[in-house]
Amino acid sequence: MMRAGPVTAPEGREGVSKVLAEMCYRGAGEYDSRGLSEALDGLGLQRGGGAAGEMASFGGALLADNLGKALELHADIIRRPKLPDAELEPVVALALQDLEALEDAPARKMFVHLKRAYYTSQHGRSALGKSETLERLSADALREDHARRYSPDGAILSVAGRFDWDWLKGAVGARFGDWTGSGPSAPEPEYRVASHYEHVEQETAQEHIGLTYASIPPRHPDRYAARLAIGVLSGGMGARLFTEIREKRGLVYSVSASPSEVRGHGTIMCYAGTTPERSQETLDVLVQELRRLGEGVEAEELERARVGLLSSLVMQGESTSARARAITSDYFYLGRVRSLREIREGVEGVTPEAIVDHLARHPAENFTVTSLGPRKLTVPA
Amino acid sequence: MMRAGPVTAPEGREGVSKVLAEMCYRGAGEYDSRGLSEALDGLGLQRGGGAAGEMASFGGALLADNLGKALELHADIIRRPKLPDAELEPVVALALQDLEALEDAPARKMFVHLKRAYYTSQHGRSALGKSETLERLSADALREDHARRYSPDGAILSVAGRFDWDWLKGAVGARFGDWTGSGPSAPEPEYRVASHYEHVEQETAQEHIGLTYASIPPRHPDRYAARLAIGVLSGGMGARLFTEIREKRGLVYSVSASPSEVRGHGTIMCYAGTTPERSQETLDVLVQELRRLGEGVEAEELERARVGLLSSLVMQGESTSARARAITSDYFYLGRVRSLREIREGVEGVTPEAIVDHLARHPAENFTVTSLGPRKLTVPA
């Protein structure tokens, strides 16, 4: 992972991050595009990663025996991509198609608008870029961007699964030890502090509603209290949003609230997809439930949210891919990696009072709301 | 898992399967709707399952210590749901919304049309049902359907993870041992044997193309040869469809081919999403690549497909949820469960000649094609 996502892209070139990450697979080191794909397939690598938000990441899941060869190939992909002129056109064509496909994915499109409406800094940028800037990209611009942003400065390498630590240190040292350079400076997140509403008129069958508001940054001591507060709202079948909005009233097929973070800032992000007729009531009940949370939670609600979080923590521990992602994310946002035990103890230590205290200091208010669909809504005062 | 998916639903009531599966969570045994949701959340259960195709399934992932209580709750959910009149309206409202949401999900909608175009038997039904039949559902109809289709006849229970076999047999016996009744008879799959094309005109940004054709049934001895043939076409970055359609020509953002099975019949199902301008070329190249496969595969291509399959097999073995799904599916389609070792040996035993032989007997032909988007296409002769 490197700090080469759209957030740190040059002005007017957001889409370069995704195009560059894709171009790195079009030949690197001694391999041409075809040869590289075949070499990766030969390792049984299930490719993961991509460029989004603050990060560009490379990697995937594969059998432990192939780790050494995978590190070798990734050193080529990241440090020595060929970035050939001839591959630029098909890669840009794909990026334009992905952007165009957003028109057929209204929920995803709504989130692009919501993020852009909330963040006034580069953090609101979409990884998809814009068609006019994508079309203007040259192979030279990609090479320049690669030299500037693909650097060891702030880069994180995470490995989970079966490996020997001393062997890994040696293998990484041999492939990346002589890598030098400084990376792009990370901008500070800036965001809307007053309520705000935007409607995107579109002839969709459903109305897609997004709502976000400021919560705590990743390194805040209330971290576990905030996570459990959201667990009371959303997660299980007995959680409040599911019960009030979906089960009792049949208003929406899906409704959720979850924490969303960038470095230095955190928000709560909510989504509901419903029919245009039920959309105003859905937004009203959603806002009401967010505010009602500050009035207190029952001990049983907290307990269920806790069991749900601990249960998914254990399951995450079983998946090497999920564990590798968690390691990267901890290191990026917190500057260190938490053990599963530390997280468990943090989750176990939260009391109902701690949640109420947290919500008194960080109430649900000053909502940024975006709706996409046939109907313009009114955000409850 | 029971044979209570839309395939075995009464005529004109396809949607009942999904509504009934949802209604089973609205109170069962001693629990009302709210109490049941809270009890499941209290176990940290991450609910899985649903009704689709031939099956209705219930279950989820949870910590091993809670397995006994989860079996107890599921005996209530499956055998003693309350199916209360008052919950029917919100549940039907949700089912109608899910059906309506299809209009905003063109790729998913295209597959509904493709399946309906290919299968002339009930196997072509969508789990979503139709609005007129959903609206006509009564609580009595649900109770009648529950009595008829939720039965131990053909039901499969699969558990993967940490448990004691003798303890499990006892626990299942106590909860399900006295369950009696016979289930619905499973219809034979019938499908189109000649080429067929359907276009669904819709003002989408992308053109969505689906193509399917008959392959071998699940119990066929060519099983591994067929799977590897598709692996040569689709799967890794070096696979033919990805290389020819995405990498070289930049025609589509996503393109894939994969096996799809019902009991007694199997097909290959392909998907490509592209711009209307590139859609005809995409379909042409897709058909060309499917036919070219019969001309032979290189040893290296086969080897890459093999490594990819074996690699994902190992990863599947690490996930208890994936393993439980594989056990159900093996038992349902094959009548027995394959060990990971048996599958590995099956995959390892396939030669390039076996693939060519298989494709000679089961060539890619007589395509059923569906396109959804602004442009009507011509299927190459």
Same domain, A152 and A209: no
pLDDT of residue A11: 87
The reported pLDDT for the residue numbered A316 is 83
Question: What is the spatial distance between Cα B206 and Cα B188, in angstroms, rounded to a whole number?
Answer: 35
Angstrom distance (rounded) from CA A71 to CA A148: 22
Mutation target vs B (from A33, A38, A109; most B CBs, 10 A cutoff): A38
Residues A167 and A216 in one domain: no
All residues of chain A having their beta carbon less than 8 Å from the beta carbon of residue B59 are none
Q: B181 lies in a domain?
A: no
Dist. CA A127–CA A108, nearest whole Å: 12
Half-sphere exposure of A60 (CA within 13 A, CB side): 22
Mean predicted confidence (pLDDT) in B284-300: 95
Residues B26 and B164 in one domain: yes
Under 8 Å between Cβ of A49 and A2: no
**Can you read off the two tokens belonging to residue A343?**
């997280």
> Residue B154, by phi and psi: left (phi above 0), alpha (psi -120 to 50) or beta?
left
| Whether residues A356 and A287 fall in one domain | yes
In a domain, B381, yes or no: no
Mean pLDDT computed over every residue of chain A: 95
Residues in chain A within 8 Å Cβ distance of B242: 37
Q: How confident is the model at residue B142 (pLDDT cuts 50, 70, 90)?
A: very high
Q: Rounded to 10 degrees, what is the CA torsion of B161, B163, B164, B167? A: -130
In a domain, B185, yes or no: no
Q: Is residue A381 part of a domain?
A: no
* Residues A78 and A226 occupy one common structural domain: no
Best residue in B89, B97, B297 to probe A by mutation, most A CBs within 10 Å?
A: B97
φ/ψ (deg, to 5) at A118: -80, -50
CB A58 within 8 A of CB A49: yes
Domain ends where: B176, B206, B240? Answer: B176
Q: Is B88 on the interface with A (CB under 8 A)?
A: no
Tell me: do B240 and B158 sit in the same domain: no
SS3 annotation, A114-178? HHHHHECCHHHCCCCCCHHHHHCCCHHHHHHHHHHHCCCCCCCCCCCCCCCHHHHHHHHHHHHCC
Number of other residues whose CB lies within 10 A of the CB of residue A159: 19
Residues 112-171 of A with CB under 8 A from B: none
The segments of chain A whose pLDDT lies below 50 read none
Which helix (DSSP H) or strand (DSSP E) does residue A112 occupy?
helix A106-118
Identity of the residue numbered A45 = L
Q: In chain A, what residues touch B202 (CB-CB under 8 Å)? A: none
Collect all residues of chain B within an 8 Å Cβ-Cβ radius of residue A206: 97, 100-101, 103-104
Please tell me whether residues A254 and A290 are part of one structural domain: yes
Q: Could you tell me the two tokens for B230? A: 């598709």
Q: What is the CATH number of the domain that holds A317?
A: 3.30.830.10
3-state secondary structure of B257: strand
B337: pLDDT strictly greater than 90? yes
Residue written as tokens 């056990």?
Answer: B327
Listing DSSP states for B276-332 in one string gives HHHHHHHHHHHHHHHHHGGG---HHHHHHHHHHHHHHHHHHHH-HHHHHHHHHHHHH
What would the pLDDT profile of B218-257 be if each residue is shown by its tens digit?
999 999 999 999 999 998 889 999 999 988 888 888 899 9
DSSP run (H or E) holding B344: helix B340-348
CB of B24 within 8 A of CB of B77? Answer: yes
- Other CB atoms within a 10 A radius of the CB of residue A53 amount to 20
Tell me: do B150 and B201 sit in the same domain: no
What whole-number distance in Å separates Cα of residue A159 and Cα of residue B82? 49
Q: Residue A301, CB half-sphere, CA atoms under 13 Å: how many?
A: 20
CA distances to A59, A201, A233, B231 from B218, rounded to whole Å, are 34, 47, 44, 17
**Strand B55-61 and strand B46-52: pairing?**
antiparallel
**Chain center to CA of A185:** 20
Cα–Cα distance, B17 to B22 (Å, whole number)? 9
CB proximity B97 to A under 8 Å: yes
Q: Among residues A24, A3, A1, which one has the least CA distance to residue A73?
A: A24
Q: Exposed, middle or buried, B376 (CB in 10 Å: 0-12/13-18/19+)?
A: middle
Task: Show residues of chain A in contact with B94, CB under 8 Å.
Answer: 246, 250, 253
What distance in Å separates the CA atoms of residue A125 and residue A199, rounded to the nearest whole number?
A: 18
Residues B321, B240, single domain; the answer is yes
Beta-carbon pairs below 8 A across chains A and B: 172
Clarify whether residues A20 and A89 are in a common domain: yes
What phi, psi does B265 have (nearest 5°)?
A: -155, 145
Query: Does residue B87 lie in a domain region?
Result: yes
Q: How many CA atoms lie within 13 A of B126 on its CB side?
A: 19
Co-location of A226 and A358 in the same domain: yes
pLDDT at B168: 97
Task: Please indicate, yes or no, if residue B1 is contained in any of the structural domains.
Answer: no
Query: Is some CB atom of chain B closer than 8 A to the CB atom of A90?
Result: yes
Q: Where do the H-state alpha helices sit in A24-80?
A: 33-42, 67-79
Which DSSP symbol is given to B247? I
User: A205 — contact with chain B (CB < 8 Å)?
Assistant: yes
CA distances from A203 to A104, A198, A200, A206 (A): 11, 16, 10, 9
Concatenating the DSSP letter of every residue in B106-137 gives: HHHHHHHHHHHHHBSSGGG--TT--HHHHHT-
CB A36 within 8 A of CB A73: yes
Query: Could you tell me if B210 and B358 lie in one domain?
Result: yes
Q: Which of A101, A274, A308 sits opposite B253 (nearest CB)?
A: A101
pLDDT at position B183, please? Answer: 84
Mean pLDDT, chain B, rounded, equals: 95
Q: Chain B residue closest to A40 (CA)?
A: B237
Look at residue B151 and tell me if it is in a domain: yes
The reported pLDDT for the residue numbered B328 is: 95
**Angle value at C-alpha A20, between A19 and A21, nearest 5 degrees:** 95
Q: Is the pLDDT of residue B67 over 90?
A: yes
Decide: helix, strand or coil at residue A37.
helix
Q: What is the mean pLDDT of residues B315-328?
A: 89
Is B319's Cβ below 8 Å from some Cβ in A?
yes
E-strand stretches of A155-244? 196-201, 207-214
- Separation between Cα atoms, residue B341 and residue A60, nearest integer Å: 24
Range of the domain at A342: 196-373
Burial (CB count <10 Å: 0-12, 13-18, 19+), residue A28: buried
To which residue do tokens 């030890």 refer?
A177
pLDDT confidence band for B381 (50 / 70 / 90)? confident
- The domain total for chain B is 2
In this predicted structure, what is the pLDDT of residue A328?
95
| Number of other residues whose CB lies within 10 A of the CB of residue A360 | 9
Kindly state whether residue B262 falls inside one of the protein's structural domains: yes
- For A92, half-sphere exposure in the C-beta direction (CA atoms, 13 angstrom radius) is 21
